[in-house]
């Protein structure tokens, strides 16, 4: 069973980037096609080795009128890891990489959300590495192909560990994922929009070092 819930004592800057959201980010950016047939969503998606872009996130909490909003940028290096950097409303950097899930703290230190040998980390790296067989064991999919190369994909968790966190995850896009809507089991909703997606320039040595 996979546990992806965030830790009880969240550090400043961690509330908008909890472990369950990082799980979805890896899923969305690395291998959203899952077990799609050859002429389905998988045929429409590009799977570049490097993907960069910006994001906007709205998280609607139960009982609150206005959503929590954040924005920033990310870098995905397939098979290596994912760097997710929130710029507003406050800076926060999080990395899914060889050492696990690491959050940068305001004092310049690091906080480990999951170590490399954590079961959650195994699936995260399978997502980053586009291990479709492993992913298909975790989710069942319902896909809809639209005109002009667009598509929608609904993911439903198979096991109790995932189901206790997500009710469903819905993705929409074309050659890349452009938007994802996350319905949590507790009723909260998160919408992520990906902006200015590009496959260059290649990662710098400093960027790669963050993932190691």
What domains lie within the chain, and their CATH numbers? 19-211 (2.50.20.10)
Provide the pLDDT for residue 24: 53
Find out whether 177 and 30 touch, Cβ atoms under 8 Å: no
Q: Could you give the CA distance from residue 25 to residue 153 in angstroms, rounded to a whole number?
A: 15
In 3D space, the residue among 179, 211, 182 whose CA is nearest the CA of residue 197 turns out to be 179
In 3D space, the residue among 192, 132, 165 whose CA is nearest the CA of residue 4 turns out to be 165
Find out whether 205 and 77 touch, Cβ atoms under 8 Å: no
Provide the pLDDT for residue 111: 80
Provide the pLDDT for residue 12: 34
Q: Could you give the CA distance from residue 141 to residue 35 in angstroms, rounded to a whole number?
A: 8
Per-residue pLDDT of the chain (212 residues; tens, 9 = 90+): 233 333 333 333 333 345 455 555 555 544 444 545 667 777 887 878 898 999 998 988 888 888 889 999 999 888 788 898 989 988 888 888 778 778 887 777 888 776 655 555 555 555 444 454 555 677 787 889 998 889 888 878 887 777 777 788 888 888 888 888 888 888 888 888 989 999 999 999 999 998 88
Provide the pLDDT for residue 5: 33
CA angle 61/76/101 to nearest 5° reads 60
Provide the pLDDT for residue 8: 31
User: Backbone phi, then psi, for 28, in 5-degree steps?
Assistant: -65, -45
């Amino acid at each position: 069973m996979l546990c992806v819930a965030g830790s009880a004592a969240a550090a400043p800057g961690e509330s908008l980037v909890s472990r369950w959201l990082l799980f979805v980010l890896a899923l969305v950016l690395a291998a959203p096609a899952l077990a799609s047939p050859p002429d389905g969503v998988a045929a429409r998606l590009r799977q570049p080795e490097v993907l960069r872009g910006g994001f906007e996130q709205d998280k609607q909490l139960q009982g609150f009128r206005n959503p929590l909003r954040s924005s920033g940028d990310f870098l995905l290096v397939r098979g290596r890891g994912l760097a997710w950097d929130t710029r507003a409303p406050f800076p926060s950097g999080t990395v899914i990489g060889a050492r696990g899930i690491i959050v940068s703290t305001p004092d310049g230190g690091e906080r480990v959300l999951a170590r490399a040998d954590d079961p959650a980390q195994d699936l995260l790296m399978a997502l980053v590495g586009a291990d479709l067989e492993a992913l298909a064991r975790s989710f069942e999919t319902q896909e809809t192909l639209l005109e002009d190369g667009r598509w929608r994909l609904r993911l439903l968790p198979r096991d109790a560990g995932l189901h206790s966190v997500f009710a469903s995850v819905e993705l929409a896009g074309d050659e890349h994922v452009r938007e994802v809507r996350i319905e949590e089991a507790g009723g909260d909703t998160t919408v992520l929009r990906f902006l200015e997606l590009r496959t260059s320039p290649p990662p710098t040595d400093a960027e790669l070092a963050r993932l190691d």
